[in-house]
Amino acid sequence: MTIQDEFISTVSHEMRTPLTSIRGFSQTLLTSWDRIDDENKKKFIKIIEDQSNRLINLVENILTVSKTKAENIIYKKVDINTVIEKVITMISEQYKEHKIVFNKNVKNNISRLDEDKLQQILTNLLDNACKYSSAGSTVKITSDSREEMAVVKVQDNGVGIKQENFDKLFKKFSRIENHLTSTTQGNGLGLYITKQLVEKMNGQIDLESVFGEGTTFTVKFPNYNEEEALKCSQKS
Ligand SMILES: Nc1ncnc2c1ncn2[C@@H]1O[C@H](COP(=O)(O)OP(=O)(O)OP(=O)(O)O)[C@@H](O)[C@H]1O
Ligand SMILES: [Mg+2]
């Protein structure tokens, strides 16, 4: 099986589950409407809504996967801190009960990057940090500049990841079982996309984690330098 065939068969499998559930609950509602009480009607419609969201998320991620390959990176001078602030505003809207703290260790953290891609990277990391930690907990994001690298850390006090699963995380469609994976939505594509995008912009992504205590993801990008930036844009 080629990688492409494998991708298609995995995607079809991932789509079948929510679609079967949407069809099943719609049929039940249509054929037994008068026999179902209001509470159950609401419950079934909620399942249809959740599963539809799951499909939308999957399609968006698949589009990104195919775009990551074809699309060129558009390098511009970006202040990473400004992008972080934007991402925090969006994510905190979704995770209202988490406390997101931003430690800005340098005033301006300028690199030559693709702003949209950077936003996507940070959104995925911050989304995971909130998703895999309990409501009410704190997520810390730190922006730094060290040894000619721009460094961003996303730290949570969540479920953590066992060392043996570190490599698996970045693979397509792989989710790791924990007590929050079963109650949260996800396709296991976020970190796969994130790693691809980071590396495409000559960056590096690492993680440290203690199972049951929390996880820190670190991304590093070469700091802005006219000569290097020119080389990067010629490469892409
Ligand atoms: N901060 C984190 N803490 C604990 N586990 C994590 C964290 N980030 C990722 N993981 C684990 O890694 C797996 C892969 O993450 P990834 O972002 O690729 O997928 P996802 O969040 O499950 O789905 P998607 O991002 O596609 O919606 C997750 O299912 C989860 O088990
Ligand atoms: Mg994710």
> How high is the pLDDT of residue 130?
95
Q: State the average pLDDT for the chain.
A: 88
Among 70, 95, 115, residue at a domain's last position: 70
Both 108 and 172 in one domain: the answer is: yes
Both 120 and 207 in one domain: the answer is: yes
Among 70, 105, 127, residue at a domain's last position: 70
pLDDT band at 93 (very low <50, low <70, confident <90, very high): confident
Between CA 49 and CA 81, with CA 100 as vertex, the angle to 5 degrees is: 110
Q: How far does residue 191's CA lie from ligand 2's centre (Å)?
A: 6
Both 146 and 38 in one domain: the answer is: no
Among 70, 94, 119, residue at a domain's last position: 70
Both 55 and 145 in one domain: the answer is: no
Both 33 and 103 in one domain: the answer is: no
Both 99 and 18 in one domain: the answer is: no
Both 66 and 80 in one domain: the answer is: no
Both 82 and 172 in one domain: the answer is: yes
Both 200 and 231 in one domain: the answer is: yes
Domain containing residue 217: 76-235
- Give the CATH number for residue 35: 1.10.287.130
Other CB atoms within 10 A of residue 113 CB: 28
Both 150 and 47 in one domain: the answer is: no
DSSP-derived letter for residue 174 is: -
For the stretch 52-59, contacts whose Cβ atoms lie closer than 8 Å and that sit 24 or more positions apart, written own/partner, are 52/18, 52/22, 53/185, 54/18, 54/185, 54/187, 55/15, 55/18, 55/19, 57/185, 57/186, 57/187, 58/11, 58/14, 58/15, 58/18, 58/187, 58/189
Number of H-type helices and E-type strands within the chain: 6, 7
Domain count across the chain: 2
pLDDT band at 54 (very low <50, low <70, confident <90, very high): confident
**All residues at 6 or more sequence positions from 75 whose CB lies less than 8 Å from its CB, including other chains:** 112, 113, 114, 201, 229, 232, 233, 236
Nearest-CA neighbor of 53 among 185, 191, 181, 184? Answer: 185
Q: Which atom of ligand 1 is nearest to 129's Cα?
A: 1
179 pLDDT exceeds 80? no
Both 65 and 80 in one domain: the answer is: no
Q: Is the CB of 14 under 6 A from ligand 1?
A: no
> How high is the pLDDT of residue 227?
63
Tokens 């009960």 belong to residue? 97
Q: Is 144 exposed, middle or buried (0-12, 13-18, 19+ CB in 10 A)?
A: middle
97-133 pLDDT tens trace: 999 999 999 988 999 999 989 998 999 999 999 999 9
Bridge partners (DSSP) of residue 101 are 140
Question: For ligand 2, a single-atom ion, which residues have Cβ within 5 Å?
Answer: 128, 190
140-163 pLDDT tens trace: 999 999 888 999 999 999 999 999
- Give the CATH number for residue 118: 3.30.565.10
Both 112 and 138 in one domain: the answer is: yes
182-194 pLDDT tens trace: 777 777 888 998 9
119-129 pLDDT tens trace: 989 999 999 99
228 pLDDT exceeds 70? no
9 pLDDT exceeds 90? no
Q: Is the CB of 51 under 6 A from ligand 1?
A: no
Separation between Cα atoms, residue 9 and residue 1, nearest integer Å: 10
Pocket test for ligand 1, best of 154, 169, 182 (most atoms within 8 A of CB): 169
> How high is the pLDDT of residue 142?
98
Q: Output 71 or 167, whichever has higher pLDDT.
A: 167
